[in-house]
Amino acid sequence: TPEPTPLPTATPEPTPLPTATPAAAPQGAQRRYVVQPGDTLRLIAERNGVSVEALLRANNLTPAAADTLRVGQELIIP
């Protein structure tokens, strides 16, 4: 009696991993931002949806300090 021909088997495909989505910061939580070349307080504020005044308060900065940001400086984003 002839042996039955085995059925072809499917090659399993790797399951794609879900892409991580950054979670929104909980209400009242603070984030940190490291100043990059070309950054200004206004740009940082706009990118993060906060006012320049809020950035100044959160980081104990004066308006005059807005012109003295240093690359690598860490800011709190309220």
14-28 pLDDT, tens digit per residue, is: 655 554 444 445 556
Closest of 60, 56, 37, 29 to residue 45, by C-alpha: 56
pLDDT band at 45 (very low <50, low <70, confident <90, very high): very high
Q: According to CATH, what is the number of the domain 38-77?
A: 3.10.350
pLDDT band at 9 (very low <50, low <70, confident <90, very high): low
Closest of 49, 46, 43, 37 to residue 73, by C-alpha: 37
